[in-house]
Chains A and B, each alone.
Chain A
Amino acid sequence: MAEAARLDLKEFEDRLVVVPGGRWAVDTIARFLGELESVPVERYRRVTLDLDRVDFIDTAGALALQRAIQHWQDHGIVVAMRGGGKDQHAIFTAIERHQPLPMAAEPPRNSLLEMLDKLGRATLDVLHEVVDLIAFLGRIVVALAATLRRPRQLRATSLIFHMEEVGLNAMPIVGLMAFLLGVVLAFQGASQLQRFGAEVFVVNLVGISLLREIGVLMSAIIVAGRSGSAFTAQIGSMKVNQEVDALQAMGLDPIHVLVVPRLLALVLTLPLLAFFADIMGLIGGGLMAWIVLDISPATFAERLPEAVSMWSFWVGIIKAPFFAFLIAMIGSYEGFQVEGSATSLGQRTTRAVVEAIFLVIAVDAAFSVFFQVVGI
């Protein structure tokens, strides 16, 4: 097996004798491909291929020789084959039969046109996606309305299960994150406010930014990463396994069975999670204020109602169900878009998270403008 391939070229005036030898196989021939191709074709009129020295030949070896023969014949050389056993000829015949026709040369590319083409396709894709998403929103609304009309149809077990999954189980990570954000806000605020001797305003800073924006926004972002992606993966793998088709074939609406419980679970739990994040953030901020600025927890608690109006808290909580709706809708939508392969599942999951986070922030910006206009 350690045998190598050999290649001898013998010249007789206008005739060339090509004698491959040894083990002429996929792992040994690489270094002779160039030699076969660079035979000076204009010098010969006849080539004889002598296979008698070949101990073993496989399809790669045969293909290499067959390509050389083709090349010589294209240059008007008469090629004759000599020697070789029956097995070897069988392989040659198989190769010749399946050698694909030479591929047409690719037309020259116009990079500007290609770029325009790409841009156009991408634009159309986005457009279709938006239309699809609106259609999906419509189906969700219809399914929700049906559930409202007949609340008994709501799958309670499924709803409770998902509430535990997306709400209760997310509490440790959301709580820890909010606590640390409170710490960071208080610490950064303290070092700035100290310069003006306005240390006590750290309560305003932490209170307003946490309750109004950061608590709910960060909870939504974590939930998008945790649960939005899970929705896509769950529904997507059901789609790949044809479970979604099976539901439909049984006369069940996949939106009703799969999306409504997830969506309601998230809409109900995200406000609670945001509330929990607010509390944890305030604890973190208060603790830091105590350590760095010597503002006791009692003073902190006393100043908080003066610094922060009740509306700041409600502004944060009101946004939570909207964010939840967006995250659940995008997660489920991308799940239903999964096709065929595992690669598609991975791509869709990534897209779900990115789109959900982006939309949450965009909607948050819209809310800011809205609340500004109504003057809260």
Chain B
Amino acid sequence: MTVERERASEVVIRIRGLRNVFGAQVVHDGLNLDVRRGEVLGVVGGSGTGKSVLLRTIIGLNRPAEGSISVFGEDVLAADEEQRRRIERRWGVLFQDGALFSSLTVLENIEVPLREHTTLSHEFARNLAAVKIGLVGLPPEAGDKYPSQLSGGMRKRAGLARALALDPEILFLDEPTAGLDPIGAAAFDALIRQLQQALGLTVFMVTHDLDSLHAICDRIAVLAERRVALIGTMDAMLQSDHPWIRSYFHGPRGRAATGAAA
């Protein structure tokens, strides 16, 4: 089927001419980026290059000064309320520290999108939420705990389970491994890779973690000078002679990660 072939290179997020300004500070200017269906895209960049701002802009938490963003072929900036809600149901977001609702248990947190956006019975929603808890590798008894009773790593997993509640097509991750110990971070990377493959997800990941970039990213986009300086595979990164990219990937930590991956 030709559809199948098109799917492979289908662009799910298309950003053109994006400009973000905060006061006198220009964060993005003329930024272009394509995210393809089924890939894991890692977004890196120095502090203050607007990685998180880019993520927030795509998901509609920040309105850009100029530019266009289309997700699933629909212009999200021009979309009306109804269209937006339809698009939002097709993506899931994991915020940095999970952003779980602190007054609800983990299970109830995962049920929130299911209750709000579907007509599934309470009992089925609870069952589905329990399955998601298993999917992200949390023990069943974690479901009845409150976010403040969980460790940082468990909170991230719980946040991931909530992001996956509606089986989204795109998963946005904001520094998923920040604050985790190396073993926990590696396990989280593996989890994301495994879920991405099992559920056919497209993953947009903002990260600082060189190991994650090596382990799970199909492509990497480097933000510098207010736009995407380079996008491509790890090999492309290693061959680039852009000064920042060189110092990032060839610095001591970069070399260690490359060595470990090789």
Contact = CB atoms under 8 A, between A and B. Distances in A.
A150 interface: no
Contacts of B132: 59, 98
Nearest to A61: B167
B131 interface: yes
A52 interface: no
Contacts of B140: 100-101
Question: Size band of the A side of the interface?
Answer: 20 to 34
Interface stretch (A24-32, A121-129, A226-234, A362-370): A24-32
A25 to B, nearest CB: 7
A26 B146 CA distance: 26
B254 to A, nearest CB: 33
Contacts of B164: 59
Given A30-B118, A33-B120, A91-B198, A60 B103 contact: no
Interface in A1-41: 25-27, 29-31, 33
Contact of A27 (B89, B134, B149): B89
A72 B2 CA distance: 39
Contacts of B146: 341
A67 B120 CA distance: 14
Given A27-B89, A33-B121, A100-B140, A341 B148 contact: yes
A343 B103 contact: yes
Given A26-B118, A87-B200, A341-B147, A100 B134 contact: yes
B102 interface: yes
Interface string B126-148: 01101111110000100000111
Interface string B108-136: 00000010011111001001101111110
Interface string B146-175: 111100000000000000101100000000
Contact of B124 (A33, A95, A342): A33
Interface string A210-237: 0000000000000000000000000000
Interface string A166-189: 000000000000000000000000
Contacts of B147: 341
Interface of B: 89, 102-103, 114, 117-121, 124, 127-128, 130-135, 140, 146-149, 164, 166-167, 197-200
27 contacts: A26-B118, A26-B120, A27-B89, A27-B117, A27-B118, A27-B166, A29-B120, A33-B120, A33-B121, A33-B124, A58-B167, A59-B128, A59-B164, A63-B124, A63-B127, A64-B124, A91-B198, A95-B131, A98-B133, A98-B135, A99-B131, A99-B134, A100-B130, A100-B131, A341-B102, A341-B146, A341-B147
Interface of A: 25-27, 29-31, 33, 58-60, 63-64, 67, 87, 90-91, 94-95, 97-101, 339-344
Closest 8 CB pairs of A and B: A98-B134, A340-B148, A58-B167, A341-B102, A30-B119, A100-B130, A341-B148, A343-B103
